[in-house]
């Protein structure tokens, strides 16, 4: 879990160019971190690549926050 | 101006006259080129002629899986893929009332669906790099129409609409998507026209002559360049004035 959190956080910081302390569990990509819809798609694709998983579109829609991403990915990679 | 040194370009349909001219021009401006087409020996001849900075990647554009894989192969061969020129195209002309399903399907698949597949696969690297150039070679008839070419014109008009939509999706990432629309271009096909046929065509062209592959290639070089970074979603018509749109 912490490993997933670390890697997700790193991707979010790099991709959205935000400060580390803003990337909290509840931080919404769009509302808090300034992402647009294209950023969201790119983040999902970056997660897929990083963790070698597939995130279907209907699941991706529900990944709105850092915590959502960590939860989904943790369940996937077991 | 229009220096492409350090840029890596994939050109489909590089075995044809236009693709050949486009690949040569991009290469002459300093780009590394990946040449794709169905006839490997023709691609290899062109690559040998260009010398360094040329890669050969044969691909059948009616094979979806092969098309999906092509941009990745190009990026692996060259280190990245910065410029995609979707130039391959076929015709299967027939009046609509006589057009077979297969004539429709094949033309749409090779001309339009391959553009979608190539672009989707090429985009990932471009988005990451925050720089990319996608140039679709469409046709004047995609805008004006032409009897006997409903399938071809639909595919070429489709490329234009596709490019405009995608241009809006990716503009904020430094990726531009444009089309070049050739008019009548001198080719083996126009070489065999008789004097009457030739003069009928030329009468419609204010410039008074057929275009050359280089005329098209120059337009592609411009759209592929850093200088054209603020130009996106456009169709650049290169037709000697035969249609002003």
Complex ipTM value: 0.76
Q: What's the pLDDT score for residue B191? A: 82
Is B124 an interface residue toward A (CB < 8 Å)? yes
pLDDT of residue B197: 87
Q: Please state the domain count of chain A.
A: 1
Residue of A nearest to B128 (CA): A42
Contacts 24+ apart (CB under 8 A), B142-147: B142/B181, B143/B181, B143/B235, B143/B237, B143/B243, B143/B245, B144/B243, B144/B245, B147/B95
The pLDDT score that the predictor gives to residue A1 is 52
Q: Do the beta carbons of residue B232 and residue B165 sit within 8 Å? A: no
pLDDT band of residue B111 (cuts 50, 70, 90) is very high
Q: How far is B195 from chain A (nearest CA, A)?
A: 54
The topology under which CATH files domain B6-234 is Rossmann fold (3.40.50)
pLDDT tens for each residue of B165-222: 999 999 999 999 999 999 999 987 778 888 998 899 899 999 999 999 999 999 999 9
B29 close to B3: Cβ distance less than 8 angstroms:
yes
pLDDT surpasses 80 at A24: yes
Query: Would you state the pLDDT for residue B189?
Result: 73
| Confidence (pLDDT) at B187 | 84
Whole-model pTM? 0.91
Is A37 at the interface with chain B, CB within 8 A?
no
Nearest to B36 by CA among B54, B10, B17, B62: B10
Catalytic residue among A36, A57, A58, A68: A36
Domain ranges of chain B: 6-234
The helix (H) or strand (E) run that includes residue B56 is: strand B54-56
Question: What pLDDT shows up at residue B8?
Answer: 98
* CA–CA dist B72, A70 (Å, integer): 29
d(CA B5, CA B8): 9
Q: What pLDDT was estimated at residue B192?
A: 82
Q: Stretch B6-27: mean pLDDT, rounded?
A: 97
Helix (H, G, I), strand (E, B) or coil at B123: helix
Q: What is the pLDDT of residue A77?
A: 87
Does residue B45 register a pLDDT over 70? yes
| B127/A42 Cβ within 8 A | yes
Give the residue numbers of B annotated as catalytic, written as ranges: 152
Note whether B72 contacts A: Cβ–Cβ < 8 A.
Answer: no
Q: Give the structural domain span for A63.
A: 1-77
Extract the tokens encoding A42.
């790119």
What is chain B's alpha carbon radius of gyration, rounded to the nearest angstrom? 17
B59 known member of a binding site? no
């Amino acid at each position: 879990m912490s490993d997933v959190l670390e890697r997700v956080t790193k991707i979010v910081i790099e991709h959205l160019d935000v400060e580390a302390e803003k990337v909290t569990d509840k931080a919404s990509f769009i509302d808090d971190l300034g992402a647009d819809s294209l950023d969201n798609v790119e983040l999902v694709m970056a997660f897929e690549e990083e963790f070698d998983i597939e995130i279907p579109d209907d699941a991706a829609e529900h990944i709105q926050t850092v915590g959502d991403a960590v939860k989904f990915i943790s369940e996937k990679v077991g | 101006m229009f220096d492409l040194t350090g840029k890596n370009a994939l050109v489909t349909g590089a075995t044809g006259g236009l693709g050949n001219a486009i690949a040569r021009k991009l290469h002459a401006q300093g780009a590394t080129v990946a040449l794709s087409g169905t006839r490997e020996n023709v691609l290899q001849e062109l690559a040998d002629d260009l010398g360094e900075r040329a890669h050969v990647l044969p691909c059948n554009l009616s094979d979806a899986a092969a098309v999906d894989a092509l941009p990745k192969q190009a990026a692996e061969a060259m280190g990245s893929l910065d410029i995609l020129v979707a130039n391959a195209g076929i015709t299967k002309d027939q009046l609509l009332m006589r057009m077979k399903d297969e004539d429709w399907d094949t033309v749409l698949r090779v001309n339009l669906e391959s553009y979608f597949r190539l672009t989707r696969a090429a985009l990932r690297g471009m988005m990451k790099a925050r720089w990319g150039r996608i140039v679709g070679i469409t046709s004047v008839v995609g805008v004006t129409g032409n009897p006997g070419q409903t399938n071809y014109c639909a595919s070429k008009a489709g490329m234009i609409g596709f490019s405009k939509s995608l241009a809006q999706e990716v503009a904020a990432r430094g990726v531009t998507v444009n089309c070049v629309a050739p008019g009548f271009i001198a080719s083996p096909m126009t070489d065999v026209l008789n004097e009457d046929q030739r003069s009928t065509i030329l009468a419609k062209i204010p410039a008074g002559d057929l275009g050359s592959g280089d005329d098209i290639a120059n337009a592609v070089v411009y759209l592929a360049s850093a200088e054209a970074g603020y130009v996106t979603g456009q169709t650049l018509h290169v037709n000697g004035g035969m249609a002003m749109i």
